[in-house]
Amino acid sequence: MNDPFQIEDEDTEPTSSNINNNEPVYLEKLNLVQREAVEATDGPILVLAGAGTGKTRVLTARLAHLLRTRDVRPYEILAVTFTNKAAREMRERVSELVGGPAEAVWLGTFHSLGVRILRKNSELVGLQSNFTILDSDDQVRLLKQLLEVFDIDSKRWPARVMMGLIQRWKDRGLTPEKVPPMEVSDIAGGKLIDLYQAYQERLLTLNAADFGDLLLHCLTIFSDSKRQDVLNEYQRRFRYILVDEYQDTNRVQYQLMCHLCQRHRNLCVVGDDDQSIYGWRGADIRNILDFEQDFPEAKIIRLEQNYRSTPTILKAANQVISQNPQRMPKKLWSQKPIGVPLEWIEGKDEAEELELVARQIKIQVLRHGRSHSDYAILFRSNFQSRLIEETLRDSGIPYQVIGSTSFYERKEVKDALAYLRVIHNHSDEVSLHRIINYPRRGIGKTSLIQANYYCQLLGKPLFEICKQARQHSRIPTEAAMSMESFARLILRYRQRFQQEPLGEVLRDLLSDVGLIRDLETQKIDPKTKEKRVGFVLELMRGLDRFVEQNPEKRLRDYLERVMLFTQNDREEDSASNQVTLMTLHSAKGLEFPYLFLVGMAEGIFPNQRSLDESGEEEERRLCYVGITRAREELTLSMARRRKRYREEISQTMSRFLNDIDPSLFQVAPGGKMDVVQKALQKKQSRADFFQQLRRLQ
């Protein structure tokens, strides 16, 4: 696979075979508003793309249109997405339309963009070009070390929590010196800013950056008045900039785009404020709500025709989201048949609620000949999945859970990757500490303490101490010999990775260090053991595939690709004919013919903690996202009682249901009276209406 930010020679022109005077095919299937969004190329543009309105088609067509009709070279276009998968699919689609020029477009994620810029300008922020990118676990491990140095109680102030606060500052574009003191006065004894500063200094020492740094460092470079030449270079280059999922951008991403677009001001952002659901991880809805204020000359284009859901489902979604005061007006509509009414399920407790859901799925699959893969069950919080899984399993319904531990987050995979990272960058001490005694080679904690003593005394990195460990008297002899043997192994494989096929070398490496052998001899459940070994074998296969697709790439390129596999990227699941289970956050961007939203009760959804921390509006947007995942049928459910610890508590219906017109719901089969009509005639409360539905179930 090509580097998503590969720059072609600037003298390269688009091939003439892709440029002609005929009406382009990418415009043929667009509605009038979609076509307007494609053809309005110059100046700031905000495309408000509601759920299911063909956003991807518009983005693809817009890129093709720029390449085909404008006097612009491919490398003068920057298109930013939130996942590598989205970037890959967009490039493939544009390539089908215009051919070769699509390969030279700067198309990738924000973090890919940051890496590309930072590799070229790393010395401006104190890094070498071969810097390592730390993942979240490595960040926490590093911060734990610093908590000890600062004598901060890690039980009261856990490293993971402290790391989260630091990352939120980075999302806002705040370096240590820019953090308002009042934000930390009562945290970790007022030491958090100093901790942040020490953490950044330690990263530089390790020649490392975390994900937040990939963008924050770029912003630091662009904001440096003494290095305007760097910013000017990129401003001149990028004549046209496109940003997908703009409602999910944080402040540092917003600031980067503002810097880059100032020369030409051809910034097109596509998003939907009604689908802004990631405030908890730094997304700032103000970026899209204030776009007109930031760019007074901006053109606003609203995509409102929905091609996914029935009018019934869309009406319910519109009624829920319209209660949010802070939003840009839009109303989804569809030309599809009106569709069936919404279904309502209510159980006396959580077990009965989910049993009724399972029964509905079984009946519908048998009665209508549907596939299990047509169904999805969405829930607000991860804790709900256990009982859902148990119920489906007991009912004999096959299922898959989306959003479990990522492949690259599994311990055995991280261990194998740590070896590769140390081979690539000897200064990566986070990875070095992870593997120096795994599998066990007689280098215990005491020996490492002594080795770190010499690091401080001599001002040398740990790997250099390991190379000549027997020269340092405090390190026990046997441990010193193991350290030197380990260092020789790393150096030997560094040379091999530079000269030989990557997959073959990795196999030899893992055999030499005994990693697979260690997994095979662990006293654990055989199935778990098989899975863990299988993950390492899959890593080898993945490296083989990478080499096949990118024969010119080396170890650094592979590690960079792996580390840029963000939490937004979903692994492809090969399983078929299974009901999909996932949280509402994981479901964004997906759609299903038949959808169940379970746990529609106050305290569950909306989530009480989220209400307390950030208010109702984002929870309501999350409900809107959930509803608009349904194409044909939508069922909502709740339990009247649920267990909380050892106590059983009563539940009330989610406030979001109060916004939905009763006429959109279906009367349960066997009902002897038209409760919907009665509800409309008497203008009865939603609670009374749902109570009547319950009696007829």
pLDDT at residue 8 in the model: 34
pLDDT at residue 372 in the model: 96
- Under 8 Å between Cβ of 18 and 99: yes
pLDDT at residue 364 in the model: 93
Backbone angles phi, psi at 553, to 5 degrees: -85, 155
The top-scoring range by mean pLDDT among 315-329, 385-399, 491-505 is 315-329
245 catalytic? Reply is: yes
pLDDT band per the 50, 70, 90 thresholds, residue 679: very low
Which helix (H) or strand (E) is 47 found in, with range?
strand 45-49
pLDDT (mean) for 452-474? 93
For residue 286, what are the CA distances in angstroms to 66, 326, 503, 637? 28, 10, 46, 33
pLDDT band per the 50, 70, 90 thresholds, residue 545: confident
- Under 8 Å between Cβ of 321 and 624: yes
Of the chain, the end-to-end C-alpha distance in Å amounts to: 54
Burial of 429-448, coded b for 16+ CB within 10 Å and e otherwise, reads bbbbbbbbbbeebebeeebb
Q: Is the pLDDT of residue 354 over 50?
A: yes
213 catalytic? Reply is: no
404 class by beta-carbon count within 10 Å (0-12 exposed, 13-18 middle, 19+ buried): middle
C-alpha torsion sign, points 606, 608, 611, 613: negative
Q: Is 31 helix (H, G, I), strand (E, B) or coil?
A: coil
> Which of 11-15, 338-342, 514-518 shows the lowest per-residue confidence on average (mean pLDDT)?
11-15
Owner of token pair 């080396």: 554
Give the whole-angstrom CA distance, residue 247 versus residue 282: 11
Residue, of 355 and 673, whose pLDDT is higher? 355
Residue, of 450 and 695, whose pLDDT is higher? 450
Closest to 52 measured CA to CA, from 470, 644, 625: 625
- Under 8 Å between Cβ of 396 and 359: no
| Catalytic residue of the set 135, 138, 245, 274 | 245
553 catalytic? Reply is: no
pLDDT band per the 50, 70, 90 thresholds, residue 690: low
pLDDT averaged over every residue in the chain: 87
In the chain, count H helices and then E strands.
28, 15
Provide CB contacts within 8 A for 124, sequence distance 6+: 220, 221, 224, 227, 230
Give the whole-angstrom CA distance, residue 418 versus residue 435: 7
201 catalytic? Reply is: no
Q: Is 210 helix (H, G, I), strand (E, B) or coil?
A: coil
> Which of 255-269, 428-442, 573-587, 597-611 shows the lowest per-residue confidence on average (mean pLDDT)?
573-587
| Catalytic residue of the set 244, 272, 273, 353 | 244
Residue, of 120 and 613, whose pLDDT is higher? 120
Provide CB contacts within 8 A for 140, sequence distance 6+: 159, 160, 163
pLDDT (mean) for 215-227? 94
pLDDT band per the 50, 70, 90 thresholds, residue 214: very high
Backbone angles phi, psi at 150, to 5 degrees: -85, 0
273 catalytic? Reply is: no
> How crowded is residue 130: how many other Cβ atoms within 10 Å of its Cβ?
14
| Catalytic residue of the set 55, 62, 172, 621 | 55
pLDDT band per the 50, 70, 90 thresholds, residue 22: low
Provide CB contacts within 8 A for 630, sequence distance 6+: 309, 313, 591, 592, 593, 594, 595
Q: Is 200 helix (H, G, I), strand (E, B) or coil?
A: helix
Q: Is the pLDDT of residue 387 over 90?
A: no
Alpha-helical segments (H) within 322-476: 350-368, 385-394, 411-424, 429-435, 445-458, 462-467
Q: Is the pLDDT of residue 316 over 70?
A: yes
| Catalytic residue of the set 629, 631, 642, 655 | 629
User: What percent of the chain is modeled with pLDDT above 90?
Assistant: 65
| Catalytic residue of the set 275, 310, 450, 580 | 275
244 catalytic? Reply is: yes
Q: Is the pLDDT of residue 464 over 70?
A: yes
pTM (2 d.p.): 0.79
| Catalytic residue of the set 6, 56, 220, 323 | 56
pLDDT at residue 17 in the model: 37
Q: Is the pLDDT of residue 19 over 50?
A: no
